[in-house]
Structure 1
Amino acid sequence: MRPEAGQVLHFSEDPTIELFVPHVAATARETEAYVWAVGHDRAPDYWFPRQCPRAMAWVRDGTSDEDRDRIVGAGCGDRVHAIEYAWWEAMRTTTLYAYRLPAAPFRPLGEAGQEHAAVATEPVRPLGPAEPVGNLIDCHAAAGIQLRLLDNLWPFWDEVITSSLGFSAIRLRNARPRPTGDADESATFFAGRAPR
């Protein structure tokens, strides 16, 4: 499920929203009240149950062949999403909805060329009723996105953020504890320049 021209999407497990009102999300780093949405490129970040922790990586300009083969996998496409085994049943059974919103009230959020969301500071009415996204696993398959099941996300995430790949992670605070227990497990990370 992707937005059409002139649209952004908001994903939710609630199919009854009639008006999106700006608010400060409990998990947001930003302190301003926003209506949150995503464009075409970031829509796959939300093909998950809302609370599902996920780590994502993709090939971008400047990605080395070594990092692509090591993390995404040789011949495995340009993008990989990883979740933990404990979330597989929710991934199979959650009904997720997409709301199509007019793009005009929204502006990109994030560094230029690395925007991870679109935000509006005024109430936004959906263009129509919520649309079921469908089988979330099938969404990944149809988009050619590798969906990887792991016992623990942290070793994978640690490799991703020190690579030349683009990356994002959402709801990591819901992941199993880090095996070494020595790092911040509460943050949400968005695409950015990977530290070298």
Structure 2
Amino acid sequence: MELYHFSSESNIDLFKPRVKHNRSDMPPVVWAIDKAHEFTFFFPRDCPRIVYTRSQGMAEEDERRFFGGSNSNIIITVESHWFKAIKEATIYRYTLPSKEFELFDETAGYYISEQAVKPIEMQPMQNLMERILDLNIDLRFTPNLYPLREAILNSSITDFGIHRFENVRAT
């Protein structure tokens, strides 16, 4: 199994456990993501985004509302003002030894380790939008993410992620 950590820093020799800003109830850990979900991190670090997937048992109305006109099973929506930053970004994908990690959230593909972890390799990544589109993911832009967040939270979609929402523009 391949596990990764994405960063805006290119010189990390050792990942040390730390408390995540939005998970202060947890002990310090090192976070990793599996290959199947890595695309959720093909963005600059602070870029807010909403990722959602066709869900089992999703209401027909929600299927039309959220996926109408798209043959993709995954949709990522980002605020429009992030377009240039995403287009020009270079991020760094660190490959981590999977034996050091335990599964934290299967739906999101998150793994954690309470031990410091030395990366196996680092790969710079550019052309992030192309990478996303090559995976047949529907990438959308909107002036503001608040309406979509409320719509998803009040829908029958069960497989979604709301990333870095503290960085959205105020309504």
**Normalising by structure 2, what TM-score?**
0.92
Q: Distance in 2 between matches of 1:106 and 1:70?
A: 38
Q: Helix, strand or coil for the counterpart of 1:11?
A: strand
Q: Helix, strand or coil for the counterpart of 2:39?
A: helix
By relative contact order (CA 8 Å, sep 6+), the higher-ranking structure is: 2
Q: Distance in 2 between matches of 1:81 and 1:32?
A: 30
Question: Does the 8 A contact of 1:49 with 1:96 survive in 2?
Answer: yes
Residues 47-86 of structure 1, C-alpha deviations (whole Å, 9 max, x = no match): 1100001111111222233312211233331111111111
Are positions 1:150 and 2:146 aligned together? no
Q: Distance in 1 between matches of 2:51 and 2:15?
A: 27
Q: Helix, strand or coil for the counterpart of 2:35?
A: coil
Q: In structure 2, what is the equivalent of residue 170 of structure 1?
A: 163
RMSD (Å) for aligned C-alpha atoms:
1.5
Q: In structure 2, what is the equivalent of residue 76 of structure 1?
A: 71
Q: CA deviation at 1:101?
A: 0.6
Change (3 A) 1:115 1:93: closer
Q: How many residues align?
A: 170
What amino acid is the match of 1:127? Answer: I
Q: In structure 1, what is the equivalent of residue 127 of structure 2?
A: 135
**Normalising by structure 1, what TM-score?**
0.81
Give the percent of matched residue pairs that are identical in Structure 1 and Structure 2: 28
5+ residue gaps, structure 2, are none
Question: Does the 8 A contact of 1:23 with 1:34 survive in 2?
Answer: yes
Q: CA deviation at 1:29?
A: 4.1
Q: Distance in 2 between matches of 1:115 and 1:155?
A: 22
Are positions 1:118 and 2:106 aligned together? no
What amino acid is the match of 1:135? Answer: N
5+ residue gaps, structure 1, are 1-5, 180-196
Question: Which moves more between the two structures, 33-42 or 68-77?
Answer: 68-77
Q: CA deviation at 1:116?
A: 4.5
Q: CA deviation at 1:174?
A: 0.5
Q: In structure 2, what is the equivalent of residue 37 of structure 1?
A: 32
Q: Helix, strand or coil for the counterpart of 1:104?
A: helix
Q: Helix, strand or coil for the counterpart of 2:28?
A: coil
Q: CA deviation at 1:104?
A: 1.1
Question: Does the 8 A contact of 1:153 with 1:175 survive in 2?
Answer: yes
Q: Helix, strand or coil for the counterpart of 2:151?
A: helix
Q: CA deviation at 1:134?
A: 2.3
Which has a greater percent of strand? 2
Q: Helix, strand or coil for the counterpart of 1:147?
A: strand
Q: CA deviation at 1:37?
A: 0.6
Question: Which moves more between the two structures, 160-169 or 145-154?
Answer: 160-169
Q: In structure 2, what is the equivalent of residue 104 of structure 1?
A: 99
Q: In structure 2, what is the equivalent of residue 188 of structure 1?
A: none
Q: Distance in 1 between matches of 2:70 and 2:108?
A: 27
Q: In structure 2, what is the equivalent of residue 194 of structure 1?
A: none
What amino acid is the match of 1:91? Answer: I
Question: Does the 8 A contact of 2:88 with 2:126 survive in 1?
Answer: no
